[in-house]
Amino acid sequence: MINKPVALEALRAATRHAHQRLESELQVARPDANREDYLHYLQDLRGWMLPFDAALWSAAWPAAIQAHERAGKLDWIDCDLRAAGMSQDAIHALPIAGFTPDLSTLPVRFGIAYVIEGAQLGTKVLAKALAPRLVPWTPRWLTGYGESNAKKWRTFVECTESSLKTADAQRIAAMAAADAFASLADWFAQRRQARLDGRLHGGRAGAADARASAESRSQAVT
């Protein structure tokens, strides 16, 4: 039982504004978002997570976190991209961001993991909003940990509190989370611009995106 989640509050305070900004700027969070917006969101999230996700979860963690169970989220994304018709080659050719945080300390790892695990909290809202335009598809990413979603988050918060006891550790974790949000927001903006440029000028990034979209449009989702 957590009385006062001090570490969580530090993480929230450092990232609240960035999260609000993401939610207001992401096309997939808009009421008229469609399947293509969802796929773009996944492609971009994948490109951002790929450089550090495996290293994050294979590092040392308190046993209660059950890091191995949190390590497969890129597989969820790839599962959805494949279901939407993208080939493995097209998935591997997707753009990759350059965010490679120094994961050598536990507070930094908690800060980064907070962003990744927290992202699961929003998926319920996202799933409900997108459902009418994805039917009959139930995407893997939007299912998250399924029935264990709430429990997984509770465990994560409990471990965060018991591991980040000093003000210093909380500050380092909060800074890492804020950096992660900032790099993610930059990456989303960069990708949005690349798609716009591609549409306007038929540029390289746009051509790759157009190929990916055409590939996924031409195949049925199962």
Residues that bind ligand HEM in the complex, under the rule CB under 6 A: 8, 12, 19, 22-23, 26, 28-29, 114-115, 118-119, 121-122, 125-126, 184
Q: Which of 173, 171, 178 is nearest to 14 (CA)?
A: 178
Report helix angle 35-49 to 73-83, nearest 10.
Answer: 140
* CA–CA gap between residue 176 and residue 15 (Å, rounded): 10
Nearer to ligand HEM, 88 or 138 (CB): 138
Which residues, in sequence order, are CB contacts of 222 under 8 Å at separation 6+?
Answer: 83, 137
Nearer to ligand HEM, 22 or 91 (CB): 22
Q: Smallest distance from the beta carbon of 140 to ligand HEM, in angstroms?
A: 16
* CA–CA gap between residue 56 and residue 151 (Å, rounded): 21
Nearer to ligand HEM, 59 or 129 (CB): 129
Q: Smallest distance from the beta carbon of 126 to ligand HEM, in angstroms?
A: 5
Q: Smallest distance from the beta carbon of 145 to ligand HEM, in angstroms?
A: 13
Q: Which residue number has the CB closest to ligand HEM?
A: 118
Q: Smallest distance from the beta carbon of 169 to ligand HEM, in angstroms?
A: 17
Nearer to ligand HEM, 25 or 202 (CB): 25
Distance of CA 202 to the CA centre of its chain: 28
**Amino acid of residue 135:** V
Q: Smallest distance from the beta carbon of 202 to ligand HEM, in angstroms?
A: 28
* CA–CA gap between residue 146 and residue 139 (Å, rounded): 12
Nearer to ligand HEM, 51 or 203 (CB): 51
Q: Which residue has the tokens 């008229």?
A: 32
Q: Smallest distance from the beta carbon of 88 to ligand HEM, in angstroms?
A: 24
Tokens representing 142? 């939007």
Nearer to ligand HEM, 12 or 35 (CB): 12
**Amino acid of residue 184:** L
